[in-house]
Amino acid sequence: MSKLLAAAVAAEEGGHGNPLLPHASELVFGSIAFAIVLILVGWKLVPQIQKTLAERTEAIEGGLKRAEAAQEEAKETLEAYKRQLAEARHDAARLREEAKEQGAQIIAEMREQAQEEARRIIEAAHAQIEADRQQALQQLRAEIGALAVELAGRVVGESLQDSARQSRVVDRFLEELEERARTQERISS
Amino acid sequence: MSARQLLAAEGGNEFQAPGTEIFEWGPLWHGAPSWLTKPTLIVALSVIIVCGFFWAAFSKPKLVPRGVQNVGEVGYLFVRDQLARPLIGKDGDKWMPFLMSTFFFILVMNLMGVVPVMQLPAPSHIAFAIVPAAVVYVLMIFLSIKEQGLVGYFRNMMFPPGLPAWLYVILSPIELLSNIILRPFTHAVRLFANMFAGHLIIAFFATVAYWFLFEKLTPLGASLGLLGFVMTIIMTAFEIFVQALQAFIFTLLAASYIGGALHPDH
Q: What digits encode the pLDDT tens for the residues A45-56?
A: 999 999 999 999
User: Most A CBs within 10 Å: which of B30, B49, B100, as the mutation test of the A interface?
Assistant: B100
Q: How far is A74 from chain B (nearest CA, A)?
A: 29
CA distance linking residue B137 with residue B180, whole number of Å: 9
Out of B16, B72, B98, the one facing A49 most closely (by C-beta) is: B72
Using CA atoms, how far apart are residues B226 and B208, in angstroms rounded to an integer? 9
Q: pLDDT at residue B43 above 90?
A: yes
- Whether A46 sits inside 8 A of B130 (CB atoms) is no
- What ipTM score was computed for the predicted complex, to two decimals? 0.89
Burial of B50 (0-12, 13-18, 19+ CB in 10 A): buried
Contact flag A30-B131 (C-beta cutoff 8 Å): yes
For residue range B116-152, what is the model confidence (pLDDT) as tens digits?
Answer: 999 999 999 999 999 999 999 999 999 999 999 999 8
Pick from A10, A22, A45: which is nearest to B58 by CB? A45
In angstroms, the separation between the Cα of residue A64 and the nearest Cα of chain B is 16
Q: In the predicted model, is pLDDT for residue A13 greater than 50?
A: no
Specify the pLDDT at position B236. 95
Whether the pLDDT of residue B19 is over 80: the answer is yes
Q: What is the mean pLDDT of chain B?
A: 90
Contact between B43 and B128 under an 8 Å Cβ cutoff? The reply is yes
Evaluate whether B104 touches A45 at the Cβ level (below 8 Å): no
What's the gap between Cα B265 and its chain centre? Answer: 29
The pLDDT, as a whole number, for residue B3 is 46
pLDDT average, residue stretch A39-46 = 93
As a whole-number percent, the residues of chain B with pLDDT over 70 amount to 95
Question: Cβ–Cβ of A41/B46 closer than 8 Å?
Answer: no
Do you know the residue count of chain A? 189
- Alpha-carbon distance of A70 to B30, in angstroms, equals 74
CB of B95 within 8 Å of a chain A CB? The answer is no
Q: How close B243 comes to chain A (CA, Å)?
A: 18
Of B254, B248, B256, B253, residue with least CA distance to B104:
B248
pLDDT at A169: 76
Write the CA distances from A179 to A167, A170, A176, B109, integer angstroms: 18, 14, 5, 156
Task: Place A168 in a pLDDT band, splitting at 50, 70 and 90.
Answer: confident
d(CA B79, CA B102): 10
**Mind telling me how many Å the CA of A23 is from chain B's nearest CA?**
6
Which residues of B fall within a CB distance of 8 Å from A53?
73, 76
Which residues of chain A are within 8 Å of residue B97 when distances are taken between CB atoms? 38, 41-43, 46-47
Contact B59 A47 (CB under 8 A): no
Q: Chain B contacts of A33, Cβ < 8 Å?
A: 43-44, 46-47, 105, 131
Asked whether residue A158 carries a pLDDT value surpassing 90, the answer given is no
Give A93 to chain B, closest Cα distance, Å: 57
Nearest residue of A to residue B35, measured between CA atoms: A25
Distance between first and last Cα of chain A: 177
B54 interface with A at CB cutoff 8 Å = yes
Identify the pLDDT of residue A105.
Answer: 95
Residue A122 has φ and ψ, to the nearest 5°, of -60, -45
Inform me whether the C-beta atom of residue B91 falls under 8 Å from chain A C-beta atoms.
no
Shortest alpha-carbon distance between residue A55 and chain B (Å): 7
CA neighbours closer than 13 Å in the CB half-sphere of residue B65: 20
Put simply, the chain B residues between 117 and 156 with a CB less than 8 A from any chain A CB are: 124-128, 130-132, 135
Max distance between CA atoms of chain B, in angstroms, equals: 71
DSSP A126-143: HHHHHHHHHHHHHHHHHH
Chain A contact for B1 (CB, 8 A cutoff): no
Reduced to 3 states (helix: H, G, I; strand: E, B; else coil), residue B27 is strand
Alpha-carbon gap, residue B227 to B220, rounded angstroms: 12
Q: Which residues of B touch A29 (CB under 8 A)?
A: 35, 40, 43-44, 127
pLDDT in tens, A97-144: 999 999 999 999 999 999 999 999 999 999 999 999 999 988 888 888
CA B31 vs CA A28, A104, B22: distances in Å: 20, 124, 21
pLDDT for the residue numbered A159: 59
Q: What is the DSSP letter of B65?
A: -
Domain spans of chain B?
Answer: 3-262
Question: How confident is the model over A90-96, as a mean pLDDT?
Answer: 95
- Please report the DSSP string for chain B in residue order: --HHHHHHHH-TTS-----GGGG---BSSTTS-TT-BHHHHHHHHHHHHHHHHHHHHHSS--SS--THHHHHHHHHHHHIIIIIHHHH-GGGGGGHHHHHHHHHHHHHHHHTTTSTTT---GGGSHHHHHHHHHHHHHHHHHHHHHHH-HHHHHHHHH--SSS-HHHHHHHHHHHHIIIIIIHHHHHHHHHHHHHHHHHHHHHHHHHHHHIIIIIS--HHHHHHHHHHHHHHHHHHHHHHHHHHHHHHHHHHHHHHHHHHHH-TT-
pLDDT tens, residue by residue, B4-17: 454 444 446 788 88
DSSP 8-state code for residue B37: B
What are phi and psi for residue B37, nearest 5 degrees? -115, 180
- CA B240 vs. chain centroid, Å, equals 12
